[in-house]
Amino acid sequence: MNRSNFAHVRAVGSYAPPRRMSNDELALLVDTSDEWIFSHTGIRFRHIADDAVAASDLAVEAARIALDRAQMPADEVDLILLATSTPDHPGLPATACVVQDRLGANRTAAMDLVAACTGFVYGIETARAFIQSGSARTVLVIGAEVYSKIINWKDRNTCVLFGDGAGAALLCASGEDNPSRVVDSVLYSRGQGAPALGRPAGGSRTPATAADGSDLYLAMDGRRVYTFAIAAIIEAIESVLKRNDLTFDDIDYVVPHQANVRIIDAAAKRGGFDPAKFFTNIAEYANTSAASIPIALDEMVTRDLLKPGHRIITVGFGSGLTYGANLIIW
């Protein structure tokens, strides 16, 4: 066991299903318009999985890309952490185990992590803790979601907001000589806000067999989530900066959960943060929950925006209510 290990992000990958649905197509299903959706959310498109496609299928694609880029065989991975709120099966077996098998990661522990849209941020900190303690040397953190399967396609308040996709990050142990690392994280839970966002039925409180069908879909108090999200982004960024004696000027990019451009803009404005440092790609993917941050990271890598030594903050917020941030030196 080596307690001087640090955890660095060695490679990322992402995958979105090929079917790309525009706002105009949605306007054929519900009473909405491209103008309303874009002006209220910043969304133009979302990618939608085929009927037969589940979260594990998207996760495997994203994970394979990350492993290929790192030139790492799957059986060198010690742990798979799969953040999802749309698992292949309700509760068991874990989708992470399905992914472990499909990757051929034969000596790998695997578990799901449920922190909704904050899932990837929770996953990065969990991976850092495993690596830093010496319990693991290589951890695959995946966010994979198929919200198209849990939203009510007749409810314009929710169906316009979400899309399907997956992103993966491979975290590896490294020594003090490698400046690239996950430096610190802040993670929060505010369970009193749980009713604002979630699926009212289908779990052990109200089993699917006893549920009114509409309670099986995602339900959201949009105004309440909006207010929470702005405060959560500001608190998470300020806390992680303060704990590390940094100011916002020391940060190159913030990679926020891609929920809504208006939320991100309002948080930047109210927090006094330079909005130009917030990366967004929600126009193409809509809100992919736990997958949105790694999909954004992958696009930033592909566009050569992230350079070694860059300080970035990933910030997530979502159902739970949960929120948190990771401070990463790229």
* Catalytic residue positions, numbered: 117, 257, 287
The answer to whether the CB of 176 falls within 8 A of the CB of 6 is: yes
- β-pairing verdict for 45-47 and 6-15: unpaired
- What is d(CA 17, CA 281) in angstroms, rounded to the nearest whole number? 16
Tokens of 253: 């990019």
Report CA Rg, the chain. Answer: 19
Report the C-alpha gap between 119 and 292 in whole angstroms.
10
- How many whole angstroms separate alpha carbon 248 and alpha carbon 246? 7
Binders of ligand ACO among 108-127, rule CB under 6 A?
A: 117
Q: Which of 186, 229, 315, 328 binds ligand ACO (CB under 6 A)?
A: 229
Q: Applying CB under 6 A, which part among 6-14, 170-178, 259-267, 293-301 lies near ligand ACO?
A: 259-267
Note whether 181 and 328 are within 8 A (CB). yes
Which residue of 95, 100, 138, 260 would you call a contact of ligand ACO, by CB under 6 A? 260
Convert residues 162-201 into a mask of x (bound to ligand ACO by CB under 6 A) and - (unbound).
-----------------------------------x----
Dist CA 280 CA 168 (whole Å) = 18
Q: Binding ligand ACO by CB under 6 A: which of 287, 288, 322, 326?
A: 287
Q: Does the protein bind ligand ACO through residue 233 (CB under 6 A)?
A: no
Q: Under rule CB under 6 A, which residues in 23-82 are in contact with ligand ACO?
A: 32, 36-37, 40-41
Q: In what order do the strands lie in the sheet with 322-329?
A: 181-189, 322-329, 311-318, 253-256
| 133, 157, 178, 302: residue in contact with ligand ACO (rule CB under 6 A) | 157
Amino acid at 228: F
The yes or no reply on residue 259 touching ligand ACO (CB under 6 A) is yes
In the complex with ligand ACO, the residue whose CB is nearer, 117 or 254, is 117
Binding site for ligand ACO (CB under 6 A): 32, 36-37, 40-41, 117, 156-157, 160-161, 197, 220, 222-223, 225-226, 229, 259-260, 262-263, 287, 317-318
